Amino acid sequence: MSNILTIAKRELRGYFASPVAFVFIVIFLLLSGFFTFMVSQFFRNGQASLQTFFMWHPWLYLFLVPAVGMRMWSEERRLGTIELLLTMPITPWQAIVGKFLASWAVVALALVLTFPVWITANYLGNPDNGVIIGSYIGSLLMAGAYLSITAMTSAMTRNQVVAFIVAVVISLFLILAGFPPVTDLLVTWASSWLVDGIAAFSVMTHFESIQKGVLDSRDILYFVSVMAFCLFTTSTIIRAHRAG
């Protein structure tokens, strides 16, 4: 555990030593505020609810989270420091988890800084704060799933742009698999069990379920499974690079 924390601290210093973390946090706060208050017209809805705030998160994360995580391993490979890292007295798995947790912490900080939106909802009315807390947890889990995908694509190439694009494409597929316009189109030619099976792989299906205020173990298991699978795949790629 100490090795994981050491790697995480090293990565966090790297994020805040460069503009990456600050740019991500500022852009996320600005865009989430713009879409919540301007596009979704939060004040005109007449409801003390953050549903219009969280509904944009899958789309905001689609581009912002891969931008944070694309340097995770690509930068190490480009600079040639991955060999040095892998010769240190740590296992590849410890390095992978440490880097992942550091990136996830940056996203978590951005989420925490959206607390004025929560305060605004409570000032205007009496929202169900249990649902809001659940939605924050779901949002953080979803961001973790996106990050794990980016970690995997970042390990595949030394080119950060390629890692970013591939991560966006994979994440977009996980969104569209359960996006209502897409599922409605699939229903016209596919059987309902097939459509339900495809939708079960979507982050939208599970995140929207959490947004309703129910922290179902199946939804949590979905996000944890995506993270575990992608990080395991990252480990396989890193071990292959180490063996090579």
Q: Looking at residue 158, what is its pLDDT?
A: 86
Confidence of residue 182 (pLDDT cuts 50, 70, 90): confident
Distance CA 155, CA 71 (A): 9
Q: What is the pLDDT of residue 168?
A: 96
**Model confidence over 41-99: pLDDT tens digits?**
777 776 777 888 999 999 999 999 999 999 888 887 777 777 677 777 778 888 899 99
Q: What is the mean pLDDT of the chain?
A: 87
State the number of CA atoms in the 13 A half-sphere of 55 facing the CB: 13
Query: Which structure tokens are listed for 215?
Result: 């922290």
Which is more confident, 184 or 111?
A: 111
User: What is the DSSP-derived secondary structure letter of residue 128?
Assistant: -
Residue type, 219: D
Over the stretch 187-244, which tens digit does the pLDDT of each residue have? 777 777 777 788 888 898 899 888 887 788 899 999 999 999 999 999 998 888 765 5
- Which pTM does this prediction carry? 0.90
pLDDT value for 189: 73
Q: Which domain holds residue 134?
A: 2-243
The full DSSP string for 158-203 is S-HHHHHHHHHHHHHHHHHTT-HHHHHHHHTTS-HHHHHHHHTT-H
pLDDT digits (tens, 9 = 90+) for 150-174: 999 999 988 899 999 999 999 999 9
Say which residue the tokens 């607390």 belong to: 115
Distance CA 77, CA 80 (A): 5
Q: In this predicted model, which residue has the larger pLDDT, 88 or 123? A: 123
Q: How many domains are contained in the chain?
A: 1
Distance, CA of 120 to CA of 108 (rounded, Å):
20
